[in-house]
Structure formats: structure tokens, C-alpha cells
């Protein structure tokens, strides 16, 4: 034992990394509120059909006589239509709930694909280095240099002209197309982060030590380097989700994303723009939900970054040596 070094120094009771993570993660009230909001939103999205049947309004049911006035304009919020109706007489509340499904699915799935591609390629590029790194990095640079929105509009227009889609039917208009477009354009950001971190991890002594032990390169990548990438991956994923959600909303707003029969926040905002002067609720409710969801994911991303960064001081009281 290094008696001299440890004598008289009572270290704070060692906490498991998980417990310490939760303590730091939940220390910020904003993070907790964001977490609760997202939990409720996800539950509501999952239970959307149930909510619809409880309220008694389907997402595409038309309530022309009830909710449209003599001029054919929609009526605002009331006791049974909490968020009012849209120009076709559909219940905005129910459509907002259903829209959450689209946003969450797009956000999570597109980010998931981008993460898988970005992490895999980033790990290979960073760890292998040399020509592999040069090629992959230049490719990622090219992707990042593409005018994202223009390109996305081009692809979705090309693939949406007929319902058969493009690339012999592999990309059909709608949800899948939106997800693919978003994933294709967001992975390079993840790639760069993973590559840069891997590059520095590759030079660490513990990787060298694993090599000296005789561990294979693949096994070192998977079980020594990857676990040390978890923090940046998790944090950046949480920040990619809202970006993807917003991007889906842009595309749908431009009429290139999700077809009108599937309620989505972007689509609802698009319709609202024509009637905003007489029907504020068309824009306010989907807009608020979009804002809150994006904000919640961003707050969680920040919270994760603080919690996973060992340099953030613990907010709980530190026990001092007596």
C-alpha cells in the first residue's frame, strides 16, 4: 500500500458511475422538466388512437357542420375541440397528438441511422488513419458542403412525382424518404466527432497496452475505444434529434415531406400559413409543440453533456475528510 500517499486522506465515498451520472443529470431543473415533457409526449404519441377514441374525434374526421362557420372558415378552441379545427374541420388537438408520432419517429430513426453510419465510419477512419481516413474524411466533407435544403428538395421532388418513388421503388414518398434524406445529411457531423475522438484515443497508453497484451485491432476498437466514445455519441445524438425533427418540419412545410393524410407538425404549419390571420390556433398549437419538443431534446443534450463530463463538479455536497 502506498501508506504515505493515502494516509489521512479520506476520499469521498466512491459512487458507482451510474449513480453519479443520475445525480448530475437530474441536478438541473430544466433537464428534469424537459425529461418529464418528453415522457408525456411519447406516452401521448403511443396512446394517440386511445386518446382519439376517448375524445371521439379521428385525426382525419371532418366536422364541417360543427366546426366550420357560414363562410367555411374554421372555428377556434372550445370545450370539445381544445385546439380548435382546421380548414377542413378536423380536430387540431388530435392531429397535434398524431403529429408527435411523425416527429418522434423521424427524429429518433433518422438520428439512429445517422449515428450508426457516423460512428462506424468515424471509428474506422480515426483508428485506421492513413488513406482510409483521408478518403472517408473527404467524403464526409463533400457531404457537409452540399447545400442541404436544396439537395433534399431536389431528391424529395424527384422521388415524389409518382407514388412508385425513385431508385426502382426503394424510396417512396412519405416518412421513409424523409428519414433517409435526413440520415444521409446528418451522419457526417457524427462522423467528425467520432473520428476526432478516436484519433486521440488511439494514441492513449491503454490502447497501446491492449495491443501489447495481444488484443486484436477489431476487438480494441469495439471494447476499448468505443466505450470511451459513449459520452460524445450520446450527447451529440440528443442534439441531432431536434435537428432532424425541425428538418422534417421544413420539408413537410414545403410540401415535400409527409403527405397531408398523415398529420404532422410541419404539414399543419404549412396549412396554417394560409389562414393565420383568421385562425391563430392553427399555427400556435403545432408550433408550440414543435418548439417545446426541440427545446426539450436540446436541454436533455446539454444535461447529458454536463453529466457525462467528468470535469463538471458534482452538485451534491462533497464529504470532506475529518
Partner 1 sequence: MSQTPPTTDEILRLDHLTKHFPVGRGLLFSRQRDIVHAVEDVTLGVTKGTTLGIVGESGSGKTTTARMITRLIEPTSGTIAFDGLDISNIDGARLRALRRRIQIVFQDPSGSLNPRRTAGQIVAQPLRVHDIPGDHSQRVAELMARVGLSPEHITRYPHEFSGGQRQRIGIARALALDPELIILDEPVSALDVSVQAHILNLLDDLQRERHLTYVVISHDLGVIRHISDQIAVMYLGRIVEMGAASGLVDHPMHPYSAALVSATPSHPGRRQSQRIVLGGEIPSPITPPSGCAFHPRCPKARLISGDHHAAPETCRLHTPPLTPASDGRMVACWYPVEADDNLIDAAHAMTANPG
- What is the contact surface with partner 1 in residues (CB under 8 A)? 1-2, 4-6, 11, 14, 17, 134, 204-206, 208-215, 219, 224, 227-228, 230, 310
User: Least separation, in Å, of the C-beta of 321 and partner 1?
Assistant: 14
User: Least separation, in Å, of the C-beta of 61 and partner 1?
Assistant: 53
Q: Are 221 and 238 in contact (CB under 8 A)?
A: no
What angle do the packed helices 29-46 and 92-128 form, to 10 degrees? 120
Closer to partner 1 by CB, 79 or 214: give it.
Answer: 214
Q: 288-292 contacts: CB < 8 A, separation 24 or more?
A: 289/41, 289/96, 289/99, 289/100, 289/265, 290/103, 290/245, 290/246, 290/249, 290/265, 290/266, 292/37
Coil, helix or strand at residue 321: coil
Closer to partner 1 by CB, 76 or 129: give it.
Answer: 129
Q: Are 102 and 265 in contact (CB under 8 A)?
A: yes
User: Least separation, in Å, of the C-beta of 161 and partner 1?
Assistant: 42
As beta bridge partners, residue 91 has 85
User: Least separation, in Å, of the C-beta of 227 and partner 1?
Assistant: 4
Give the distance from CA 169 to its chain's centroid. 27
Closer to partner 1 by CB, 175 or 308: give it.
Answer: 308
Closer to partner 1 by CB, 14 or 322: give it.
Answer: 14
User: Least separation, in Å, of the C-beta of 119 and partner 1?
Assistant: 16
Closer to partner 1 by CB, 22 or 206: give it.
Answer: 206
Amino acid at each position: 500500500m502506498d501508506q504515505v500517499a493515502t494516509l489521512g486522506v479520506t476520499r469521498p465515498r466512491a459512487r458507482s458511475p451510474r449513480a453519479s451520472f443520475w445525480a448530475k443529470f437530474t441536478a438541473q431543473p430544466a433537464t428534469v422538466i424537459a425529461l418529464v415533457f418528453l415522457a408525456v409526449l411519447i406516452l401521448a404519441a403511443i396512446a394517440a388512437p386511445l386518446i382519439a377514441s376517448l375524445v371521439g374525434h379521428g385525426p382525419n374526421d371532418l366536422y364541417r357542420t360543427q366546426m366550420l362557420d357560414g363562410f367555411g372558415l374554421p372555428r377556434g378552441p372550445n370545450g370539445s375541440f381544445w385546439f380548435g379545427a382546421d380548414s377542413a374541420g378536423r380536430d387540431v388537438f388530435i392531429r397535434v397528438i398524431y403529429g408527435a408520432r411523425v416527429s418522434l419517429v423521424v427524429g429518433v430513426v433518422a438520428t439512429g441511422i445517422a449515428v450508426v453510419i457516423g460512428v462506424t465510419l468515424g471509428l474506422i477512419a480515426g483508428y485506421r488513419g492513413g488513406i482510409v481516413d483521408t478518403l472517408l474524411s473527404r467524403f464526409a466533407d463533400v457531404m457537409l458542403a452540399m447545400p442541404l435544403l436544396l439537395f433534399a428538395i431536389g431528391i424529395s421532388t424527384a422521388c415524389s412525382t409518382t407514388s412508385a418513388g425513385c431508385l426502382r421503388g426503394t424510396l417512396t414518398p412519405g416518412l421513409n424518404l424523409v428519414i433517409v434524406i435526413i440520415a444521409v445529411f446528418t451522419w457526417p457531423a457524427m462522423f467528425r466527432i467520432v473520428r476526432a475522438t478516436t484519433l486521440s484515443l488511439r494514441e492513449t497508453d491503454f490502447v497501446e497496452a491492449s495491443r501489447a497484451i495481444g488484443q486484436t485491432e477489431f476487438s480494441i476498437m469495439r471494447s476499448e475505444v468505443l466505450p470511451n466514445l459513449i459520452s460524445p455519441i450520446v450527447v451529440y445524438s440528443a442534439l441531432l434529434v431536434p435537428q432532424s425533427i425541425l428538418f422534417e418540419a421544413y420539408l413537410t412545410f414545403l410540401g415535400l415531406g409527409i403527405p397531408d393524410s398523415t398529420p404532422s407538425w410541419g404539414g399543419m404549419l404549412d396549412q396554417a400559413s394560409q389562414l393565420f390571420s383568421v385562425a391563430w390556433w392553427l399555427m400556435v398549437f403545432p408550433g408550440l409543440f414543435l418548439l417545446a419538443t426541440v427545446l426539450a431534446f436540446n436541454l436533455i443534450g446539454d444535461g447529458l453533456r454536463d453529466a457525462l463530463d467528468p470535469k463538471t463538479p458534482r452538485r451534491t455536497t462533497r464529504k470532506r475528510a475529518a
